[in-house]
Amino acid sequence: MGKAKKTRKFAQVKRILSPNDARLKENQVKQQKKEAEAKQKAEKRVTQVASSLFLQHNDALVPPYRVLIDTNFINFSLQNKLELVSGMMDCLYAKCIPCVTDCVMAELEKLGHRYRVALRVARDPRFERLPCSHSGTYADDCLVQRVTSHRCYIVATCDRELRRRIRKVPGVPLMYIVKRRYAIERLPDQGAPV
């Protein structure tokens, strides 16, 4: 007679948890810490300051005003047949120096042939060209970063998302287009009787 093979029956093998198993308490705690750190890094918030401190942040904001121009502001000005420099002077009642960053110029160049008129307007010698030292060419981040570091600019944009971001930075006025005219927001001189 031959020997019968002894095999282990199914489900009788001792099961051992791997040290990397997600069901272990230590691994769950580590995972939660990683998620919390990632969430904290993702949140980039500017601290909110009371609006009563407005003038303390804006000692440098005096005529001639330096106006940072966004790509869509140039496009909407052309669509509404507004002349940039004279329209800004009419809005602010003072001399204005339009400023264009390298990122805005790069964005206009990327937009191609349809935006050649806007690019020609941005290359106007009356416009001041501001060099960018950061990496990347995203114009909105560039403008927000420049405004938070130097509060001597008025930001001209028609982009609602960018305006929402800049409103969080205290002491920075916004310029945008309303009813085929330029309007200014958060400038303390506006509305005061002369």
Asked, for residue 30, whether it belongs to a domain, the answer is no
Helix (H, G, I), strand (E, B) or coil at 92: helix
Give the chain's domain count: 1
Residue with token string 């120096």: 97
Asked, for residue 25, whether it belongs to a domain, the answer is no
Asked, for residue 44, whether it belongs to a domain, the answer is no
What CATH number has the domain bearing residue 122? 3.40.50.1010
pLDDT score, position 11 = 58
How far apart (Å, rounded) are the C-alpha atoms in residues 32 and 187?
45
Asked, for residue 35, whether it belongs to a domain, the answer is no
In the predicted structure, residue 68 carries a pLDDT above the cut 50: yes
Asked, for residue 27, whether it belongs to a domain, the answer is no
In the predicted structure, residue 88 carries a pLDDT above the cut 70: yes
Asked, for residue 107, whether it belongs to a domain, the answer is yes
Ramachandran bin of 5, using left for φ above 0, alpha for ψ from -120 to 50, beta for the remaining angles: beta
What pTM does this model have?
A: 0.69
Task: Express as a percent the part of the chain with pLDDT over 70.
Answer: 79
How far apart (Å, rounded) are the C-alpha atoms in residues 10 and 45?
57
In the predicted structure, residue 163 carries a pLDDT above the cut 90: yes
Asked, for residue 11, whether it belongs to a domain, the answer is no
For residue 153, list its beta bridge partners: 66
Domain span at 140: 63-185
Asked, for residue 114, whether it belongs to a domain, the answer is yes
